[in-house]
Structure 1
Amino acid sequence: MGQAEVARASAELQQGHALLREARANEALAVSREVVGVLTRELGEDSPDVANALLLRGEAYRMLGCGRDSMRDLLRAVAITRPLRSVGPCDRLHGQALRAVADGMWRAGRYRVAEVWLRHTLRFVEDRLADRLEAARVRNVLGVVLRYDGRHSAAEQQLRHALQETCRPGGERLAATVHHNLAGLRLAQGALEDAEHHARRALELRHDAKASSVLAVAADQLCLAGVLSARGQGEQALMLAQTALQTYRDRLGDEHVEIGYCLHVLAHAQAIEGHRQAAAELYRKAIAVKTGALGAHHPELANSWRGLASVADGNERITALSRAQSLCEHY
């Protein structure tokens, strides 16, 4: 009976990972919860199979915006798969868990902590696994962290290094993700034409890649919308951002942080089109959603507070500027 239960749970675990790749996070979470219970009971809590199930559950929680639950499971997966002196079968799983923890750290606004985890992960992947494509995945996340921490030159170095490695077999979807992140970086640097090139290339690659996640496509649409809005093309930006917003609402609900990002881009596009009142209302909604999902002190809120200040009047403008400044000083 035990072996049959383990075999069934292992098959369901693979199904759960497939569901997560399709951005069906609620279904993946339901599968992972059951599988964690079965494998823990049959194999013990320190089994590598349990760590794999915890990794799935942690990633599903992250996709759904449940940061604390995600981090709990991912840290446990790291601990279970901690390697011995010789290279072992858990090493790849350990590297994936390390990267997932770092990803959760930067999403929580803990950029310097995330950087420490990522540099440790990069050393582990390069020295222990000698896997250049997995190293590129780590460099991609590291580039994002450095960008959010304001170190644009270092971020670009990591992202372009990652992009060079995506020519390897299996690197197509990663290439789209790196182009997406280069678009965001170049936008932050004010290189709008180059940002648009990378944003459009990300969408092209995403459409060409097999089994691309609908959430990844939505993220690319939103990225391009942000670039077009910055280039003064508000009408096109509005259409793309509204499409992305509907996708996120259908998959993740109305309170997920991605909804806040969509509302922010929509607000900027409305402002570009001269609709200040509509833009102000969207910025307020973006701030409310981001605050609910991330907390009032997350550095990401500074962008929306600055946006609100650009279209608000009187005391609201002063308050928005003050909130943006205090968040930037805090981080």
Structure 2
Amino acid sequence: MLQDMAIEVIHDGGNLATEQRYRHTVGQEAEKLACELSNQGKYKAAEQLFRQTLEIRQSALGSEDPDTLTSMDYLASILYAQNRYKAAEQLYRQVLELRQKALGFEHPNTLASIRGLACVFMGQGRYRAAEKMHRETLKLRQKVLPAKHPNILESISDLASVLERQGRYETAEQVQRHTLQLMQKALGLEHPDTLLSMGSLASVLDNQGKYIEAEKIKRQTLQLMQKVLGPEHPNTLWSMGSLASVLGNKGKYIEAEKIQRQTLQLTQKVLGPKHPSTLASMGNLASVLDNQGKYIEAEMIQRQTLQLTQKVLGPEHPSTLWSMGNLASSLDNQGKYIEGEKIQRQTLQLRQKVLGLEHPDTLASMGNLAAVLRNQGKIDEAVDMALDGLEELFLGEVSMYDAPLIS
């Protein structure tokens, strides 16, 4: 088809209308292929094609044409998929501004741009801003789209995920169960979005200590992702790491370590050594090694993970703070209390600033700091820290309120 169009351009003596039609068709075909590559998790190849498509459309149609904005949105999404948050945020903001101007504030494409920007915020650890935008997107999608539209289900799932990141597990679980039920009915049991919803529900259960159900769902999710997406798709690798995590939480350390090593090897191959998912795999492997008393290897990996996470995501990103806390705990387990206490204090201070006083990770830091103080014989300070943690936990349970999510 494209070859026939090219011949027509040559025979037509370079007629402008024919050439523009050819370039537009090339753009469409390249975009279809790029979307297919993206769905397969081949993000670098997809990005290259999305950039070419955007260049073609900007030249042929102008910077504000709806098709050009679609190409910009696709490029932003593939940058986000590779965790290149700054570039993705800049592009999403540009697309959002142009779509609001050209299409209006409630057009589905405009709402898709708001949703994309909210996802970037979540990846950056800006959870409150992400929640606000996800709620706004959900409200408007419920207004302009039919009930149970896939985009509405997507927004509900997004909102549940950001609630989970903030430690609001009970509400997140309720919403994820509802979303999964709707997705299974609307999209089918093996649709990639349904599988992501399954995995997200299992993660919420894992975070609440509901390990038996979490493990069951995670095994089902991994099996289906391997079948539907393939063994090296990024979502499959996420599912592998998630299963290993719950196995570690249940004390099944040998199986957990085996899967974590496989996951790390594959994420390094598929996503690269500095991708956030690779760094998470490194941290998870170190944790399961630490739990088995393999302290030397665990500490070495934890230090590497922290150094890379600070560089890639920044010193105050929640994932960086998670790495700091894990390193401090590993040091504490080895009796390296002075350095462990120092890092625990830094972690607690940053979590209080970034996540808030009532977040489960902040409360965990208070408990971990109390433990390292106790191990050094600083009993009075340890007791005070533990009591402060209990007080924050009680206040959090009393004051926590979530606005209704599902109408």
The one-letter amino acid paired with 2:40 is E
Paired residue for 2:325?
Answer: 306
**How far 1:211 moved relative to its partner?**
6.5
The one-letter amino acid paired with 1:38 is I
**How far 1:43 moved relative to its partner?**
0.8
> What CA distance in whole angstroms lies between the structure 1 residues aligned with 2:175 and 2:32?
31
1:232 equivalent in alignment to 2:251: yes
CA distance 1:148–1:53, change in 2 (3 Å) = same
* Secondary structure of 2:49's aligned partner: helix
Paired residue for 1:193?
Answer: 212
Paired residue for 2:297?
Answer: 278
1:244 equivalent in alignment to 2:260: no
5 Å-filtered alignment, 1:1-331, equals 1-82=19-100, 84=103, 91-130=107-146, 132=148, 133-171=150-188, 172-209=191-228, 214-312=233-331, 313-331=336-354
The one-letter amino acid paired with 1:235 is I
Q: Is the 8 A contact 2:230 2:236 kept in 1?
A: no
Task: Say which is worse superposed, 128-137 or 9-18, in terms of deviation.
Answer: 128-137
Q: Is the 8 A contact 2:232 2:270 kept in 1?
A: no
Paired residue for 2:373?
Answer: none
**How far 1:296 moved relative to its partner?**
0.5
**How far 1:272 moved relative to its partner?**
1.9
> What CA distance in whole angstroms lies between the structure 1 residues aligned with 2:57 and 2:166?
40
> What CA distance in whole angstroms lies between the structure 2 residues aligned with 1:85 and 1:326?
43
- For 1:23-80, what per-residue CA distance to the aligned partner results, in whole angstroms no more than 9, with x for missing partners? 1111111111111111011111111111211122112212222111111222222233
**Greater relative CO, 1 or 2 (CA 8 Å, sep 6+):** 1
* Secondary structure of 2:187's aligned partner: coil
- For 1:82-103, what per-residue CA distance to the aligned partner results, in whole angstroms no more than 9, with x for missing partners? 375798xxx3433332222111
The one-letter amino acid paired with 2:171 is A
Task: Say which is worse superposed, 27-36 or 128-137, in terms of deviation.
Answer: 128-137
Paired residue for 2:3?
Answer: none
Q: Is the 8 A contact 2:105 2:111 kept in 1?
A: no
Q: Is the 8 A contact 1:48 1:80 kept in 2?
A: no
> What CA distance in whole angstroms lies between the structure 2 residues aligned with 1:19 and 1:200?
26
> What CA distance in whole angstroms lies between the structure 1 residues aligned with 2:251 and 2:105?
56
> What CA distance in whole angstroms lies between the structure 1 residues aligned with 2:104 and 2:287?
52
Q: Is the 8 A contact 2:187 2:194 kept in 1?
A: no
- For 1:192-224, what per-residue CA distance to the aligned partner results, in whole angstroms no more than 9, with x for missing partners? 212212211221332343678711100000000
Q: TM-score if structure 1 supplies the norm length?
A: 0.93
Task: Say which is worse superposed, 158-167 or 223-232, in terms of deviation.
Answer: 158-167
> What CA distance in whole angstroms lies between the structure 2 residues aligned with 1:257 and 1:117?
23
**How far 1:140 moved relative to its partner?**
1.4
The one-letter amino acid paired with 1:204 is Q
> What CA distance in whole angstroms lies between the structure 2 residues aligned with 1:131 and 1:15?
31
Task: Say which is worse superposed, 8-17 or 123-132, in terms of deviation.
Answer: 123-132
> What CA distance in whole angstroms lies between the structure 2 residues aligned with 1:185 and 1:224?
13
- For 1:165-206, what per-residue CA distance to the aligned partner results, in whole angstroms no more than 9, with x for missing partners? 112343522221112112221222122212212211221332
> What CA distance in whole angstroms lies between the structure 1 residues aligned with 2:26 and 2:230?
25
Report the structure number with the largest CA radius of gyration: 2
> What CA distance in whole angstroms lies between the structure 1 residues aligned with 2:277 and 2:139?
31
Number of aligned residues: 328
**Aligned residues: percent identity?**
21
Q: TM-score if structure 2 supplies the norm length?
A: 0.76
RMSD: 2.0
